Chain A
Amino acid sequence: MTRETAIKAENLSLTFQTNDGPVHALKDVSLDINKGDFVSFIGPSGCGKTTFLRCMADLEQPTGGSITVNGVSAREARKSRAYGYVFQHAGLYPWRTIGKNIRLPLEIMGYPKADQDARIKRVLELVELDGFDKKFPWQLSGGMQQRASIARALAFDADILLMDEPFGALDEIVRDHLNEQLLKLWAKTQKTIAFVTHSIPEAVYLSTKIVVMSPRPGRISDVIENPLPVDRPLDIRDTQAFLDVAHRVREGLRAGHSYD
C-alpha cells in the first residue's frame, strides 16, 4: 500500500546568523512523512526539533533545501490552514477565557457561531476541561493550560497536527492519560501528527515512526519504523517488543551525543 506524502523535506538546512556567528540549527535534513503517520522527534536540547517543526509551519524560512506540505509549499499550506500547531509554551491569550481562546481560530477562520459552540464543547471534553471554559488562563495550572492549547489546535479541521513538546509540563499520570487520548484521536481522525518529545517511552508508545536527531549541526541521526501494532493499550509498554524499540532509540540518542 503506497500512501500520499504529507510532509516532505529534502536537504533542508537552516542557519541562524547570530552575533556569535552562524548557528546551524538544521543541516541537510531529509524526511518523508506519509499521510496518517504519527512521527515523533526526539533528541537533546538544541538539536533543531522546534526549528524543524517551525519550517513545516512556515514560521521559519529555510536557508537551503526544500520542504513541501500536502504537496505544496509550506507557505501555501499555511495559507490554506492545513495544520494546527501546539507551541512549546501554551501561549493562551491572557485576556481571553479558555473558551474564548479556543474560539479564536474558529472566529478567524469564519466558522458559524453555532458550530463554534459545538466544537468548543467537544474539544474541551476531549482534553477533560469541561466546565473550565469561563475561566481565565491564570486560573488554571500549567498542565491545564497546555491541554487548553491542544484543544485550541484540535478545534478546527486541519489534517496535520504539529505538536512541540505538548506534554512536557504534565505529570506522569495525566501524561499517560493524554497519550492514550491522543492515540484514540489520531486513530479516529486519521490526522498526520508530528510530535516533539524528550521522553523515549512517549515516543515509542505514540508513534509509527521515530526520528532521532542530534545537535551541532542539527541533523537526523536515525529514523526508526515502529513495529508495534496500531492498537496499543498502555501496558504494551511492559512488553519485550516495546523495550526493544526503546533500546534502539536510546542507542540512537547516545550515538548522536558522542562528544568528539
Chain B
Amino acid sequence: MTKTALSVLTVLAAIVVTWYLAVAPMNIRVALDQAERAGGAIDPPSAVERREMSNWVLMAKNRDYISEGYNLERPRLPTPKQVAQELWKTTGAMVLKGRTWSKRSLIYHGWITLQSTFWGFLLGTTIGIIGAVAIVQSRVIEMSVMPWAIISQAIPIVALAPMIIVLSSQVGIEGRGFPKALISSYLCFFPVLVGMVKGLRSPTSEQLDLLKTYSASGVQRFLKLRVPASLPYLFTSLKIGIAAALVGAIVGELPTGAISGLGARILIGDQFGTPLAIWAALFAAAILAGVLVTLLDRTQQVLLRRMGMRS
C-alpha cells in the first residue's frame, strides 16, 4: 500500500519538476518582451533579433530575466502553482463568495459539460450494447455493421461536430444539448461495442457445450452464460467509454457559438489570449474524467466481488 503510494508520488513529483523546468525555456521570449517594454537591459535588445535565436541562447544571455518567466500574466506555459491558483479562483473561491453558478465559475461550466457527458454516455453505451448483442447474434449483422462502426471512428470528430450542430439546428432542434450528447455518444459507443462483442464471445467452448448437454434455449444461453461472462469486459469498456464521452462533450462545445461548458472556456481562453483560463479548464476536464472513471472502477469492484470474481 505505502509502496504504491510512494511510486505514484514519485511519478507525480517527476512530472511537477519537469513542468517547472520547462517553464523557463517556454516563457523566456515572453518574459524578455515584457522586460523590454518595461525598459530593462536585454541582450539582444530588439525582438526581431531575438526571433533568430534559440531559447537556450536567450536564457544563457539573460540569466537575470529567467525568473520573470515564472510570474507572467499571459505565459506560454503557466507554472503548476499558477494553474492551481486559477483553478481555485474559478472553483472554491467562487463557492466561498456564493457565486458557484456564475458564468465565471468552472463548477458551472463543468456541470454543463457533465450533463452532456452523461447523456452522451447513456446514449453511447445503449447503442454500443445493443449493437454488440446484435453482432453476436448474427453473422450477417456483424458483416454489415462492423465495418461502418470502424469507419465511423476513422472520421475526425472535430470535423464532424460542426456539421452535427448545424444539421440539428436545421431540423429545428433548439439549443446545444442534443447535438452535444450526440457527438459525445459518437465517441463513446465504439469502445463499448468492441468490448461487449469480446465479452459476449468470451465463454469457452466447454462452457457452451455444458449448456448444449442441457439442451438450453438460445435465450437461456444468452442470459445464463453470455451476459454474466461479459460483465468484466463491460466495465472495462464503460471506463474507456465515459472518458471518450467527456472528450466528445468538450469537442461539441468547441465550434463557435458555444458560451458555456469546459470546451467553450478553452475556446474563449484561446480567443482572448488568456492561457491560464485554458489550462484551468483543461485541468478541470482531467479531474472530471478522473472522478468519473474512479466511480465506475469502484462500482466494478463491488459488483464483480459480489459475483465472486477476484479482480
The chain A residues found within 8 Å of chain B, CB to CB, are 57-59, 78-81, 83-85, 87, 89, 91, 93-97, 104-105, 107-109, 136-138
Closest to A136 in B: B308
- Residues on A with beta carbons closer than 8 Å to the beta carbon of B229: 95
| Interface residue? B215 (CB, 8 A) | yes
**Given A107-B224, A108-B220, also A87-B308 (CB < 8 A):** no
The chain B residues found within 8 Å of chain A, CB to CB, are 204, 206-207, 209-216, 220, 224-225, 228-229, 231, 307-310
Q: Are B228 and A85 in contact (CB under 8 A)?
A: no
Of the candidates B204, B214, B228, B307, the one whose C-beta lies within 8 Å of that of A109 is B214
CA distance A89 to B209 in the complex (A): 12
Of the candidates B214, B215, B307, the one whose C-beta lies within 8 Å of that of A95 is B307
**Given A104-B224, A108-B224, also A59-B308 (CB < 8 A):** no
Min Cβ gap B220→A in Å is 5
Of the candidates A59, A96, A104, the one whose C-beta lies within 8 Å of that of B209 is A59
- Residues on B with beta carbons closer than 8 Å to the beta carbon of A79: 215
**Given A94-B308, A95-B309, also A87-B209 (CB < 8 A):** yes
Q: Are B212 and A59 in contact (CB under 8 A)?
A: yes
- Residues on B with beta carbons closer than 8 Å to the beta carbon of A84: 213
Q: Are A85 and B213 in contact (CB under 8 A)?
A: yes
CA distance A108 to B224 in the complex (A): 9
CA distance A123 to B215 in the complex (A): 21
Q: Are A59 and B215 in contact (CB under 8 A)?
A: no
**Interface of chain B: mostly helix, strand, loop or mixed:** helix
Of the candidates A83, A87, A136, A137, the one whose C-beta lies within 8 Å of that of B210 is A87
CA distance A85 to B215 in the complex (A): 12
19 residue pairs of the A-B complex, CB under 8 angstroms, read: A59-B213, A80-B215, A87-B209, A87-B210, A89-B206, A91-B204, A91-B207, A93-B207, A93-B225, A94-B309, A95-B228, A95-B231, A95-B308, A104-B214, A105-B214, A108-B211, A108-B220, A108-B224, A138-B310
- Residues on B with beta carbons closer than 8 Å to the beta carbon of A95: 228-229, 231, 307-309
- Residues on B with beta carbons closer than 8 Å to the beta carbon of A104: 214, 224
Min Cβ gap A230→B in Å is 28
Of the candidates A57, A94, A137, the one whose C-beta lies within 8 Å of that of B213 is A57
Min Cβ gap A229→B in Å is 33
Min Cβ gap A82→B in Å is 10
Q: Are B228 and A91 in contact (CB under 8 A)?
A: no
CA distance A94 to B308 in the complex (A): 7
- Residues on A with beta carbons closer than 8 Å to the beta carbon of B216: 108
Q: Are A96 and B308 in contact (CB under 8 A)?
A: yes
- Residues on B with beta carbons closer than 8 Å to the beta carbon of A108: 211, 214, 216, 220, 224
- Residues on B with beta carbons closer than 8 Å to the beta carbon of A136: 308
CA distance A107 to B211 in the complex (A): 11
- Residues on B with beta carbons closer than 8 Å to the beta carbon of A58: 212
Min Cβ gap B307→A in Å is 5
Min Cβ gap A94→B in Å is 6
CA distance A107 to B207 in the complex (A): 16
Min Cβ gap B208→A in Å is 10
Q: Are A81 and B207 in contact (CB under 8 A)?
A: no
CA distance A159 to B28 in the complex (A): 87
Q: Are A78 and B213 in contact (CB under 8 A)?
A: yes
Min Cβ gap B207→A in Å is 6
- Residues on A with beta carbons closer than 8 Å to the beta carbon of B215: 78-81
Min Cβ gap B222→A in Å is 12
Min Cβ gap A249→B in Å is 29
CA distance A91 to B211 in the complex (A): 11
- Residues on A with beta carbons closer than 8 Å to the beta carbon of B204: 91
Min Cβ gap A150→B in Å is 13
The 9 closest A-B pairs by CB, nearest first: A136-B308, A85-B213, A95-B307, A108-B214, A95-B228, A108-B216, A91-B206, A105-B214, A79-B215
Min Cβ gap A188→B in Å is 23
Closest to B229 in A: A95
- Residues on B with beta carbons closer than 8 Å to the beta carbon of A96: 228, 308
Closest to A84 in B: B213
Question: Which of B211, B225, B308 is packed against the most chain A CB atoms within 10 Å?
Answer: B308
CA distance A104 to B309 in the complex (A): 18
CA distance A79 to B309 in the complex (A): 32
- Residues on A with beta carbons closer than 8 Å to the beta carbon of B214: 81, 104-105, 108-109
Min Cβ gap B48→A in Å is 70
